Amino acid sequence: MTQIGADKTKPPHLRHLRIGLRGTSGRSRLPNMYSHPHCHFGKNAAIAIAGIASLIAPIAVGMMNAPAKFEVATVKPAEVHDEQLAQRMDYMRTALPVIGGVTIRGKRVEMRGYTLEQLVCVAFRIRTRQLIGPTWLSGKRFDVEALIPTEASNDQANEMLQTLLQERFALRAHPSTREQTGYVLTVGNGGPHLKVSSQNPPSGSEPPNVESLMGRIPKPGLPGSMRRELKRSNMNHVAETLAQLLQSTVEDRTGLKEKYDVVIDIPPPLDPDDKDPQSRIFAAVNQLGLHLKSGKVNVQVLVVDSIKKIPTLN
């Protein structure tokens, strides 16, 4: 999470952060965190992360028309008995393209041991590095239990969580864009070595989404090789895959418009003590006829204007 600071520019692309202008949502799912360790808040979440959206005017989160709401909800401090387990869950919630891991049984929502930072990120489908707010947001943990109204779709759970944060924590925030240090993906000097996907994929197949591509990414730095196979992926998906591996923002500036079948083969470290996979990831990218370099990139963010440390009574 980034500290609150002066806003340099207005956001050029934040439409798909969907900061609660309406009580509806796109196609979305919230699978069990133990069977699939990340939230799937819909295909638009991938677009939001990639930054492909158009301009919207900044607006306070609390200014919503007909907000989606849980039927009932409780928020209480979490009892964390295993800090190592909590830290592992934190990794699962932050390393993948969409923050989270929420259990829904029928209409009942359960979120255990979440920091306030993580709750905000789940609600707005962003990573922690896209949240600009006070450092204490990543401190105290909370348990949330809620009931989705019978007549409402489970797909509205993220908007309902937004409303809950506004009501219980008095959350007020606005979207913006910040320049951060990250990586720029370009075409190498020799041109791309990429296989264009078939125009007629096998019957029943669908274009991939970031959630399916990133479902089994191991923590960077673990020994051994890594292999990523991306089918019918555009370059934004490739950049997002690299962002997860590098744990930093990767901006696509290749200009390539086709969909590709991409295999990223990352060799094992030569030195067993090598815990930094960056050079090996760079080498794998070079094999694709692409090039990565560090640089300044524009990142869509959510700026917290105000929020309470303690929720109001249930």
Dihedral angle computed from the Cα positions of residues 234, 58, 39 and 152, in that order, rounded to the nearest 10 degrees: -120
Percent of the chain scoring above 90 in pLDDT: 43
Residue-wise pLDDT for 26-79, tens only, equals 333 333 333 333 343 344 444 344 443 333 333 344 444 568 999 999 999 988
Pairing of strands 172-187, 108-115: unpaired
- What are the φ/ψ torsions at residue 129 (nearest 5 degrees)? -75, -5
Mean pLDDT, rounded, of the chain: 74
How many whole angstroms separate alpha carbon 31 and alpha carbon 208? 18
User: Under a CB-based contact definition with an 8 Å cutoff, are residues 129 and 1 in contact?
Assistant: yes
pLDDT at 252: 95
Handedness of CA 272, 278, 281, 286 (dihedral sign): negative
How many whole angstroms separate alpha carbon 9 and alpha carbon 18? 19
How many whole angstroms separate alpha carbon 280 and alpha carbon 271? 12
DSSP state of 9: B
How many whole angstroms separate alpha carbon 300 and alpha carbon 302? 7
Amino acid at 84: Q
Residue-wise pLDDT for 16-37, tens only, equals 343 433 333 433 333 333 333 3
Q: pLDDT tens, position by position, for the chain (314 residues)?
A: 654 444 444 443 343 343 433 333 433 333 333 333 334 334 444 434 444 333 333 334 444 456 899 999 999 998 876 665 666 555 555 544 333 456 788 999 999 889 999 999 989 988 888 899 999 999 889 999 999 999 999 888 989 999 999 999 999 999 999 998 999 999 999 999 999 998 765 544 444 443 333 334 444 444 567 888 999 999 999 998 898 888 888 999 999 999 999 999 988 888 777 777 888 999 999 999 999 999 999 889 999 999 999 999 87
pLDDT at 102: 66
Helical (H) or strand (E) element with 108: strand 108-115
Amino acid at 305: D
| Token digits of residue 54 | 């158009």
